[in-house]
A and B are shown apart, each in its own frame.
Chain A
Amino acid sequence: MKKLFRFFPLTALVLIFSACNSNTESVTATETKDAAIKNGGQEAVQDDVSQKDVVKIAVGSKDHTTLVAALKQAEYVDDLSNAGPFTVFAPTNDAFNKLPAGTVEGLMKDDKKADLQNILEYHVAVGVYKTENMKEGQKINMANLNDITLSVKDGRVVVNGTANVVASIPAANGIIHVVDAVLLPPAKN
């Protein structure tokens, strides 16, 4: 659906300009696209006073370079700079390193972008879920539409029985829970 919307303005422009002069169509489409992204988007806006959003916090963490690289490859940086609110389970570099050798490298390939996006979406929920409000057995439906299941023991939260929440960081547009394992979405049917 999103893609359809993106397509419409271009279609309109092409049609309009072909009505006047068919030679201008390709030039116009390219120029419009360039102009829209030229300033780097909202994440590139200079802002040293606002509280950091989830992306800026991840970018500023030396333990999350793999996650940040993955977000960039999946083109989710701008979306996660949006108003949210988001709950992001943020695996550390060590968590990614625990995956079988070659997994991350494989996912970073352009033809695996959809798989990477699916995994990352499984780490993001819309809404602010604070640990103090989390309950044993609670399910949260994540951005890829699969659920995670929480267990809470002595105030410590574990996701899907494998990933421990080791720290929680409030962000301008939500909250980050640092986890020590990558959450793997259930295999697609």
Chain B
Amino acid sequence: MRSSLKTVLLVAAAFSIACLQSCKPKGTQSAVSGDAAAKVYVAPGKYDEFYNFVSGGFSGQMSVYGIPSGRLFRVIPVFSVDPEKGYGFSEETKAMLNTSHGFVPWDDLHHIALSETNGIQDGRWVFGNGNNTPRIARVDLKTFRTAEIIEIPNSGGNHSSPFITENSEYVVAGTRFSVPMDNSNGDVPINTYKNNFKGTVSFISVDQTTGHMNIAFQILMPGVNFDLARAGKGKSHGWMFFSCYNSERANTLLEVNASQKDKDFIIAVNWKKAEEYIKAGKGRKESVKYAHNTYDEKTHSASSVIEEEVTVLDSKELADMVYLMPCPKSPHGCDTDPTGEYIVGSGKLAAIIPVFSFTKMQQAIANKTFDGEYEGIPVLKYDAVLHGEVQKPGLGPLHTEFDDKGFAYTSFFVSSEIVKWNVKTLEVVDRVPTYYAIGHLSVPGGPTRKPWGKYVIAYNKMTKDRYLPTGPELAQSAQLYSIEGDKMKLLLDFPTIGEPHYAEAIPADLLMKNSQKIFKIEENKNPFAALGDNNARVERKGNEVHVYMTSIRSHFTPDNIEGVKMGDIVYFHVTNLEQDWDVPHGFAVKGANNAELLIMPGETQTLAWKPERVGVFPMYCTDFCSALHQEMQGYIRVSPAGSNVPISFGTGKTDSTAVAAK
């Protein structure tokens, strides 16, 4: 009691010091205006205004924050195993991480794409890319869980992905690394790059009812590096714009050798034309191998299929499908404005931002205003397609998002700032520093036809003076700015999971009403489900022991298990019988070499456990489920190989026949 009072006084003292300091701002603190705290304060019991889906970078996951509070709600496991949720460890989820290279338990998730209808966020799904072992994942926004992962063949480094078209017809995947194609002999000298290495962009169709992805076609491209992409919208619907660098086609020391030319390209792909070619049978079937993994919410299980064919369209051979727009200095971001008229290229090394006009591009194509060809693809004349250049905006433009008032917001890595400019007049109207080295940025609805505006969020790479030091690596960070007035105002710093790259924000009311609360137990089709305590049992099949276990506040059935022998493998199939929102049960057993299970209400998940010594091993519920959570436990007995202890099990029997033989 006395020490508690002391704590209160200490906290109060600390706060009063903080208050005093805020009266005399200095350094970067001066960037924060006086009412910032009120603007990000979401009172206890109140909801945030937006969900912010943030890529987790090298964590491989996706995280969900509230805006404006910056509170972390959830980390969604996508490409990396997550022992906390059993993802990639439970028998049911392992198949999600299957690839043509086998089980790959990690990836690097860079970009987010929320599904759209008519160019407006619709809250059905969010897609993410796996950079390292090329993949695209679809997360279902009813469950906030990864529902599907598709591997991308003929690709190395799926960076230019998973940008989405305005009716979610396609998500795309442009390869960062050009590579020898999968069905060619890959055993070639690396310095034969120019002859043997190709690029591809893939169009992955999305079933509008189920969300299921399918590689509709790939377009074979010159051997450059694809960086980012954005779909046309409105008048430019039917086109996809990819930025690329390394038009030099260097294969070593790219930091020098890929920066030789003044201009690389924005690659404009007419995907409606590509669809026509596919219909006309112009696609070439190529044999490849890629995994396609889906999670079924009825069986609560993932399955993985290896697909063996992809249809390829060759950009060299098929006219009117691909055009190149010269873009200065290794373009990175490639963003289309809400009207679909303007395409903003951001050369990482440039001191201007070129803004291209879709209308002019169409005219240039019609008039064949070409500046020769690159690898058989027409190059449009820079001046003929240019709307204009934003002059001296800053150093190192990377990405651009848009608001609902005709302004663009471009991030500048080198000069560490966000610059606001008028899309039509190209005038810079405001700039704010970011702390430090901003990469991506996000305006709610910023990449769509209908930006919601209100905030811009910066995702930064460095935070040296922003957070308490935590050893060699510091917190990754986001910064929230108000864009409601003429001037941007810094409101809040908040740390993020992994390294944040791209992120999108969506109004909370578009999602929260769809959020799933439970899985109905009567719809549980997991073949190992025990639907009710009466169905709980233990069965031996050779050296496999299957425990069909149920969990409900506050016990497991069975909770005493005997008859397991050395050399057995035990499968705990745990069904959570709860039908109540926010009541998962966990399951852990001593010595497990994998992880825990975290089982949602109505769901069944399985943990494989191979005993490595004789004895009695505790098992327990890991998720604090109830007042008697600590009582939710049991034992499993392991006897030597060849022992004659019979399989037996039970719960709640307290006499000497504690465990009913069966």
Contact = CB atoms under 8 A, between A and B. Distances in A.
Interface of A: 4, 8, 11-12, 15-16, 19-20, 31-32, 35-39, 45, 47, 49-51, 53, 83-85, 126-128, 133, 172-174
Contacts of A37: 45
Given A35-B44, A38-B46, A83-B626, A172 B15 contact: no
B580 A172 contact: yes
B580 A50 contact: yes
A39 B627 contact: no
Interface of B: 1, 4, 8-9, 11-13, 15-16, 19, 43-46, 517-518, 520, 553-554, 578-581, 583, 601, 625-628, 652
A168 to B, nearest CB: 15
A50 B520 CA distance: 9
A173 B518 contact: no
B16 A19 contact: yes
Contact of B45 (A12, A19, A39, A50): A39
Contacts of A39: 45-46
A172 B16 CA distance: 46
B12 A16 contact: yes
A4 B2 CA distance: 12
Contact of A19 (B19, B43, B46, B628): B19
A20 B16 contact: yes
B46 A172 contact: no
A16 B16 contact: yes
Contacts of A83: 553, 583, 625-627
Residue in A32, A45, A51, A133 with the greatest tally of chain B CB atoms within 10 Å: A51
A50 B517 contact: yes
B553 A35 contact: no
B578 A35 contact: no
A84 B625 CA distance: 8
B477 to A, nearest CB: 26
Given A8-B4, A15-B12, A85 B628 contact: yes
A32 to B, nearest CB: 8
- Give the 3 A-B CB pairs with smallest separation, nearest first: A19-B16, A35-B43, A15-B12
Contacts of B43: 31-32, 35-36, 38
A45 B45 CA distance: 11
Contacts of B46: 35, 38-39
Nearest to B580: A172
Contacts of B578: 51, 172
Given A83-B625, A84-B627, A85-B626, A128 B553 contact: yes
Contacts of B13: 19
Contact of A12 (B12, B44, B518, B553): B12
B553 A47 contact: no
Contacts of A51: 578-580
Given A8-B4, A85-B628, 16 more contacts: A4-B1, A15-B9, A32-B43, A32-B44, A38-B46, A39-B46, A47-B581, A50-B579, A50-B601, A53-B580, A83-B625, A83-B626, A126-B627, A127-B628, A172-B580, A174-B553
A19 B15 CA distance: 8
B586 to A, nearest CB: 14
A49 B517 contact: yes
A157 B579 CA distance: 27
Given A85-B627, A173-B553, A16 B19 contact: yes
Contact of A36 (B12, B44, B554): B44
Given A50-B581, A85-B628, A35 B45 contact: yes
A46 B307 CA distance: 43
A116 B220 CA distance: 78
A178 to B, nearest CB: 21
Contacts of B4: 8
B258 to A, nearest CB: 54
B349 to A, nearest CB: 48
Greatest chain B CB density within 10 A among A31, A32, A53, A84 is at A84
A186 to B, nearest CB: 24
A14 to B, nearest CB: 9
29 contacts: A8-B4, A8-B8, A11-B8, A12-B11, A15-B8, A15-B9, A15-B12, A16-B11, A16-B12, A19-B16, A20-B19, A32-B43, A32-B44, A37-B45, A38-B45, A45-B581, A49-B517, A49-B581, A50-B579, A53-B580, A83-B553, A83-B625, A83-B626, A84-B626, A85-B628, A126-B627, A128-B553, A133-B652, A172-B579
Nearest to B18: A16
Nearest to B13: A19
Contact of A50 (B518, B553, B625): B518
Contacts of A174: 553
Contacts of A173: 553, 580, 626
A133 B579 CA distance: 22
B517 A19 contact: no
Nearest to A85: B553
A127 B8 contact: no
Contacts of A36: 43-45
A14 B554 CA distance: 41
Contacts of A11: 8
Contacts of B16: 16, 19-20
Contacts of B9: 15
Nearest to A172: B580
Which of A4, A32, A36, A50 is the most central at the interface, judged by chain B CB atoms within 10 Å of its CB? A50
Contacts of A47: 517, 581
Contacts of A127: 554, 627-628
Nearest to A53: B580
Contact of B518 (A35, A49, A85): A49
A45 B47 CA distance: 13
Contacts of A49: 517-518, 520, 581
A127 B626 CA distance: 9
Nearest to A45: B581
Contact of A16 (B15, B579, B580): B15
B582 to A, nearest CB: 9
A139 B456 CA distance: 62
A48 B652 CA distance: 33
A128 B9 CA distance: 42
A11 B625 CA distance: 31
B579 A19 contact: no
A13 to B, nearest CB: 9
Contacts of A20: 16, 19
A33 to B, nearest CB: 10
Contacts of B625: 83
A85 B583 CA distance: 11
A35 B47 CA distance: 11
Nearest to A84: B626
A146 B62 CA distance: 50
Contacts of A45: 581
A128 B44 CA distance: 32
Residue in B19, B45, B580, B601 with the greatest tally of chain A CB atoms within 10 Å: B580
A169 to B, nearest CB: 14
A174 B580 CA distance: 11
A98 B601 CA distance: 41
B559 to A, nearest CB: 14
A9 to B, nearest CB: 9
Contacts of B583: 83, 172
A32 B580 CA distance: 30
B12 A19 contact: yes
A7 to B, nearest CB: 10
Nearest to A133: B652
A150 to B, nearest CB: 17
